[in-house]
Amino acid sequence: MSAEIIKDIENKKTELESLLKNAKDLKEVSSLKIEYLKKYVKSLYSELKNASVEEKKSLGKIINDFKNFAEEKIKEAEAKYKQEKSAAKYDVTIFKDSIRLGSMHPLTKLYKKIEKVFVGMGFSVVQGPEIETDKYNFEKLNLPPHHPARDMQDTFYISAPNVLLRSHTSSVQIRTMEKLKPPVQIISPGTVYRVDDIDPQHTPMFYQIEGLVVAEKISFANLKAVLIKFLKEVFGDEVGVRFRPSYYPYTEPSAAVDMSCTKCGGKGCKTCRNTGWITVLGSGMVHPNVLEGVGYDSKKYTGFAFGLGLNRLALAYYNLDEIRKLYENDISLWRQI
Amino acid sequence: MFKFSLNWLRDYFEEKIKYDEIMNKLKLQGFEFGGKKEIDGDIITEIEVKANRPDMLYHMGIAREIKAFDGEKIPEITHEKCTVNSEDFPVKISVNKEVCKRYCALKINGVDLKKATPEYMTKRLNALGINSVNAAVDIGNYVMLDMGQPIHAYDFDKIAGKKLFIDKSEKDSKVTTFIGEEAEVKKGDIVIFDDESIKCVAGIIGTQGAAVTENTKDIILEAAVFDEIPVRLTSRRLKISTPSSFRFERGVNVSSTRDVLLKCAEMITKICGGKIETNIFDFYPEKKEEKSICLSVKKANDLIGEEIDKDLMIKLLEKYDFKCTAQDSDTIKVKIPSYRLDVKLEVDLIEEVARIYGYDNIKPELPTIKTSYTKNEVWDNMDIIREVFTGLGFNETINYSFIPNNTMNVFGIENGDRLYSDLVLQNPIAGAYSLMRPMMTHSLLSSLAYNYSVNNNNLAFFEIGRVYFKDNSFDTGVKETDTLGFIMSGVRIPKGFGQDKDIKYSYYDLLSYLNVIMNRFGQNFELRQNDYKFCEEGSGYDIILSGKVVGFIGELNKSKLSSIQNVKLIKDQIFYGEFYLDTLTEKVKKIKFESKYPSVNRLYNLLQRKDVPAGEIADVIKSSSEIIRNVAVKDIYFDKTFKENEYAVLYEVKYCSKDSTLTAEQIEDIENSFLKKLNEKWGISFKK
Ligand SMILES: [Zn+2]
């Protein structure tokens, strides 16, 4: 008896397959589903009741297999029809070019990411003038007239020697400290200017973010922790950070901060000039002369400051080749990010 | 930048040092390097010497730094004995101590300058970019690159009256430098002169007047330390920068001047013969005492954020030639080596401790600071604007703050106009980047035009940046205002997908975008017509907020602005607006009206004169009943049957009552009342 049933099951399998293949629509598939999966399987189970104990085991398995087989095949067929049905009405691969968000400038986009990290750590955002006086751009930063370190920053003048385009946003920090009593914890983002002709790797204007923390008992260890946290949050936990001695007239001790090259992961490439490292920040403990210059007691308060140029960082971040492209505003580039 | 030779450095080491090893030691101490070049079995490397470390501008200094890394020292400079008797020196020298910190001179008799400079010396000098002149000059240069002290040689026979004066020049005069170039000395420059003429522009370059030649027999050899600032100023003005002026500007170790001079003289006599006169000249009015600074261990540790114990601190400092004496449990008295001109304060010593201890060994620790976040409203508003404008499909640009110097002229803005500015840079990179922009228009128009030139068409841009105006109420003499500019041109919604015509940006889009952003801040603005020449006639309007002009809108006049690069490529109308962000504050609006009853919309097609603003008509309609919730303009159209000065405007009026479901009669009553008012006031008729 069971041999007959088994044979019948085999036949029904082939039968179902060919019927499904020729089914014209979803309705036909549905009726096959009722016929084979409901009615036929039900009849098989009632046959099973009459079988002997040994037969029950093997036959039960065969019936189950058939049920699974039929379910799968019917599902496939249903899916096929459902898909065809909707494709007939809409092509869901078409998007209107005219409906899109406008693009943010890549510098803004990267800046906002950085700002978020610092604001999250409790920094406030302050602004100040781009056209500055020598006093705020140089003198109050421990850079008296004729200091050789002024050579590092070739300055644009509105009226020499006193009114100029700021060469860094440290000037904003001085203005802020003159207004506020410690503790202060600020970033001063903004456009800065240095005399440079426009070519693929140079522009006479760039975006800078400087930061400043002044309070009691602020240490170099604090500076390290804040900057490591910042770099890891923006560039990922795997990024390596190192601090090298450096020199800025307004900080003492001073440190240059390198990050392992994000392009090659530290193996060495064109971007990192084969060193595996990219210098991203200048930093240091605020020079006591600077603190005293704004009326802070340098015996009571210490602080750290840092600065980073966003444009160079953006090149590495977005894989852009030419720095001047950041000011050409070719919208086809912005749209890719 | 200073270039050093590996072979030269090796003179200071017993064993043959490895290049990579010494580079590594220097890098760990924070020095940075430019290019390197292999020449003839030697390696020449550029080191970036920052302004604080002039002691790294010569080979002995670099060797000293490398050795210190391992706690070793370089030998002291040794030379023959001499006596100082400045009175009896064969040349009467008088020095103004205001311009010169130290002036040493000696005389060598009977040299033979026809003798060639030793090959190893010329090879090294050439490799570092210095040409060979004659043995005396070459050895002077060699000693400078070796020990950091610039040396100058005079032909004794050419010194008129056997007198030399080191002082500020009393008048302007022309000199010929020893390489044969003219230079104009100005009154006040430091010069070295005899009874007849200027022999040397101090610290910068010698003149032909007393230059040593191969026929020179007796030499006056000079080693001096001039004031940094005058040397720097004169060098900048003359545009002459020499290895010697470069060093004087940054500072030369005044303590070793005489030792180096004697060492140099010794080398000259070894090579060119002759004899050093034992009596030498040394003007050294303010002898630099060995300087000591007290270092507090606690203060150092507080600033560094580590617990470095006193003994370790002493050990670290002594490696680098800082001699230490423990004063008490917390204080170390530290003697500063004479060549470390940068170490002046306790904090400079703390940096040395941190540097030698190793920045990498300092454990990071997040600070806990109690500051409150200060709200920056203008800054926050910029974020809102970016969200709104990118949401509306505008793309953000950033342009240079300086625009072409002829912009005012091109735009037809005259002196006295609100937007006029002549705030130009004194040293722009080019005329096209020289006027600090008083408006964003040129920037955004240029960006738009540039995009047309690279085949990006149909665009809307915005930019948030600053505009600049002269204003003496600011300490900088300039008022800077954060400003939003926006521009659009071409097709806004292209034809297709069942729509048979392109919809282009229109003047009404410009107005509506302005309205959207003003609404976002809850601001009620007014527009007042202005005849900006760079706008099409009748399209320029000032934006007024609380009685103040805060910006303007208009359709740009393409023919007037066609000289701007690529503007000719833009075929469609260009719409532009800008306004200042400093007065923009967000006003919170309250929900005033709620109703559970349904609302009803009715359309009214009104034939009206063009000079009656639709906004005023809408106001009249709205004020006619509190049941009217909203009045919106849906269309404007022209028809041949209309009079010349008329058009039809389609208004949609929304009715809703708080108290009941409205009946057709109620609405009709209100309708009749405002239609009557409109007819009485402006003769407006209802068009079916
Ligand atoms: Zn790399």
What pLDDT score does A59 carry?
Answer: 83
Task: For residue A301, give both structure tokens.
Answer: 């308060």
CA distance B161 to B167: 17
A318 at B interface, C-beta within 8 A: no
Hey, are the CB atoms on B302 and A217 less than 8 Å from each other?
yes
Token pair of B123 as six digits: 């090879």
pLDDT at A128 over 80: yes
Check B29 against A245: CB less than 8 A apart.
yes
CB < 8 Å to A90, chain B:
none
pLDDT at A335 over 70: yes
pLDDT at B180: 85
ipTM: 0.86
A166 — pLDDT class (breaks 50, 70, 90) = very high
Which chain A residues are closer than 8 Å to B492 by Cβ? Answer: 98
User: What is the second-level CATH architecture of the domain A106-336?
Assistant: 2-Layer Sandwich (3.30)
A151 phi, psi to nearest 5 deg: -60, -25
* Three-state SS at B472: coil
Q: What pLDDT score was predicted for residue B370? A: 81
Residue A133: list chain B partners with CB under 8 A: 475-476
Cα dihedral B674, B679, B680, B681, rounded to 10, equals 90
| Residue A1 confidence (pLDDT) | 58
Q: Among A282, A287, A314, A323, which residue's Cα sits nearest to residue A152?
A: A282
- Residue B216 has a CB neighbour count (10 Å cut-off) of 23
**Interchain proximity B475–A133, CB inside 8 Å:** yes
Which of B430, B433, B462 has its CA nearest to residue B445? B462
* H or E segment to which residue B555 belongs: strand B548-555
Yes or no, beta carbons of A163 and B477 under 8 Å apart: yes
Shortest distance between the Cα of A311 and any Cα of chain B, in A, equals 12
Q: Where are the alpha helices (DSSP H) in chain A?
A: 2-22, 26-32, 41-50, 53-89, 106-120, 134-137, 170-179, 220-235, 288-293, 310-318, 331-334
**Cα-to-centroid distance, A270 and ligand 1 (Å):** 6
Q: Do B364 and A97 touch (CB under 8 A)?
A: no
Contact A215 B369 (CB under 8 A): yes
- Could you tell me the distance, in angstroms and rounded to a whole number, from the CA of residue A277 to the centre of ligand 1? 7
For residue B462 the two structure tokens come to: 């915005």
Using CA atoms, how far apart are residues B330 and A80, in angstroms rounded to an integer? 85
pLDDT for B688 equals 65
Beta-sheet pairing, B219-226 with B151-155: antiparallel
Look at residues B395, B302, B406, B314 and name the one whose alpha carbon lies nearest to residue B353: B314
Please name which of B20, B257, B50, B273 lies closest in space to residue B148, comparing C-alpha atoms.
Answer: B257
Distance CA A278, CA A263 (A): 10
Predicted local distance difference test score (pLDDT) of residue B447:
97
For residue B304, the chain A residue with the least C-alpha distance is A220
Instruction: Transcribe B337-355 into DSSP letters.
Output: PTT-TT--SHHHHHHHHHH
Nearest residue to A244 via CA among B6, B130, B28: B28
Residue A144 is predicted with a pLDDT of: 87
pLDDT confidence of residue A87: 55
CA B290, distance to chain mean position in Å, is 38
pLDDT at B584: 87
Integer Cα distance of B419 and B551 in angstroms: 10
Give the pLDDT score at A84: 62
User: Looking at chain B from residue 356 to 395, which residues have their Cβ under 8 Å from any Cβ of chain A?
Assistant: 359-360, 362-367, 369-371, 373-374, 376, 378-379, 383, 386, 389-395
Q: Does B503 touch chain A (CB under 8 A)?
A: no
Short-list A109, A116, A112, A96, CA closest to A334: A109
Task: Return d(Cα B101, Cα B206) in angstroms, integer.
Answer: 19
Mean pLDDT in order along chain B per 10 residues (688 residues): 92 90 88 89 92 92 92 86 85 93 94 93 93 93 96 94 93 88 91 92 90 92 93 91 92 93 94 92 87 96 96 94 93 94 94 94 92 84 96 97 97 96 96 97 98 95 98 96 98 91 96 95 93 95 95 97 96 97 85 86 92 92 92 90 90 93 93 92 83
Which residue segments constitute the domains of chain B, with CATH numbers given? Answer: 2-69 (3.30.56.10), 83-283 (3.50.40.10), 293-361 (3.30.56.10), 377-580 (3.30.930.10), 600-686 (3.30.70.380)
Residues of A in contact with B424 (CB under 8 A): 158
In A, which residues are within 8 Å of B428 by CB distance? 156
Query: Residue B603: which of B655, B673, B676 has the closest Cα?
Result: B655
CA–CA distance, B281 with B262 (Å, rounded to integer)? 11
**d(C-alpha A33, C-alpha A13), whole Å:** 13
Measured in angstroms, how far is the CA atom of residue A236 from the centroid of ligand 1? 16
Mutation for B interface: A90, A91, A96, A98, most B CBs within 10 A: A98
- pLDDT bucket at A36, cuts 50 / 70 / 90: confident
Chain A residues in contact with B396 by the CB 8 A cut-off are: 102-105, 108, 334
Burial A95-117 (b: 16+ CB within 10 A, else e): eeeeeeebbbbbbbbbbeebbeb
Strands B435-436 and B459-470: unpaired
What confidence tier does A226 reach under pLDDT thresholds 50, 70, 90?
very high
- Tell me which chain B residue has its CA closest to the CA of residue A198: B429
Domain extents for chain A? 2-89, 106-336
A172 touches chain B (CB under 8 A): no
**Integer Cα distance of B419 and B441 in angstroms:** 11
Across chain A, mean pLDDT equals 90
Mutate to test the interface with B, among A136, A198, A247 (most CBs of B within 10 A): A247
Put simply, whether A159 touches B (Cβ < 8 Å) is yes
| Contact: B494, A243; criterion CB under 8 Å | no
- What pTM does this model have? 0.83
Q: Which residues of B touch A104 (CB under 8 A)?
A: 386, 390, 396
Looking at beta carbons, which residues of chain A come within 8 Å of B429?
195-198, 204
Query: Model confidence at A86, in pLDDT bands (50, 70, 90)?
Result: low
Residue A336 contacts B, CB cutoff 8 Å: no
Q: How far is the CA of A233 from the centre of ligand 1 (A)?
A: 20
Nearest-angstrom CA–CA distance, B319 and B355: 12
